[in-house]
Amino acid sequence: MRETIAFIGLGNMGGPMAANLVKAGFSVQGFDLAEAARQAATDNGIALCNTGAEAVEGAAIVITMLPAGSHVLSVWGELIEVARQGTLMIDCSTIDVESARKSHALAKAAGCLSVDAPVSGGTTGASAATLTFMVGGETDAVSLGRPVLEAMGRRVVHCGSAGAGQAAKICNNMILGITMAGVCEAFVLGEKLGLSHQALFDVASTSSGQCWAISTNCPVPGPVPTSPANRDYRPGFAAALMLKDMRLSQDAAKSTGVETALGAQATELYELFQELGHSDKDFSAIINYIREKSA
């Protein structure tokens, strides 16, 4: 048996990630507020605890996978009170850079090591242990966490100091949000010009328009059989999560004074889509909104 890990936040992502740690031979002590998550965790061999603090008892490493920065700061604030000196704190949630840096500072003040390690790859990657981790923190903390992250993912990229993982995640997802909007506009324009979906796909997926939004998550049914468009846009990556990440990018742009006109426009698009009640659809479903607006 390898060392003991405390895992807090056993939802859609955290649940399967913690299960993969168990499969890799770690002893995992878990905690979540939600009953459904608690039940699934027990079924996956995680030792369930009644509080986060109880889960941290005897753990060398603590992982959090929570909805937003406020949750991470409040949970870390509680956990570092009971974590022993030298414990490695890893946050895998997607949160704002400022909260990430504050959580690093909390850990440091308590004599703990820390990394921010948000992920890309979604629930499929979480289940298959193929996630990409974007990691921020001191080199010794990253080295200590690497074997644990490698048990849950395929790639671990050390992006820089505290908060750099979150910075990389936010920038990457702003690219994704913008490119998907552009790809959806291009497919609707192609339709109006009498171009078949397959013809546009065959050209764009092998030309300078090539990107993940076309080649993997193509927003029209047909060309990429595994894309959400083939199953009525069941996610995949839900529009609500895309909007969350776009808002994080816009908050970061505002606080750094960076002009992100395209990021702002794409954010507005996902906001409108959410207001129309489609936030549970894959984000590529915005093609339907663009098509309706173009009718």
Annotated catalytic residue, options 23, 169, 254, 293: 169
Dist CA 255 CA 258 (whole Å) = 8
Among 2, 4, 12, 172, binds ligand NAD (CB under 6 A): 12
Which listed range, 12-20, 219-227, 249-257, 273-281, lies at the site for ligand NAD (CB under 6 A)?
12-20
Which listed range, 42-50, 67-75, 203-211, 254-262, lies at the site for ligand NAD (CB under 6 A)?
67-75
Shortest separation between residue 58's beta carbon and ligand NAD, angstroms: 19
The mark string for 82-111 relative to ligand NAD (x by CB under 6 A, - otherwise) is: -----------xx-----------------
- Considering only CA atoms, which of 83, 146, 137 is closest in space to residue 115? 137
Dist CA 219 CA 205 (whole Å) = 13
Distances (CA, A) of 246 to 32, 33, 230, 277, 280: 27, 27, 25, 18, 16
Active site residue 169: yes
For position 59 contacting ligand NAD by CB under 6 A, the verdict is no
State which residue, 44 or 200, has the beta carbon closest to ligand NAD. Answer: 44
Per-residue buried b or exposed e for 152-182, using 16+ beta carbons within 10 Å of the residue's own CB: bbeebebbeebbbbbbbbbebbbbbbbbbbb
Shortest separation between residue 20's beta carbon and ligand NAD, angstroms: 14
Strands 119-120 and 131-136: antiparallel
Dist CA 114 CA 269 (whole Å) = 36
For position 128 contacting ligand NAD by CB under 6 A, the verdict is no
Select the residue whose beta carbon is closest to ligand NAD and give its number. 11
Q: Which residues bind ligand NAD (CB under 6 A)?
A: 8-14, 31-34, 37, 52, 65-67, 71, 75, 93-94, 119, 122-123, 237, 241, 244
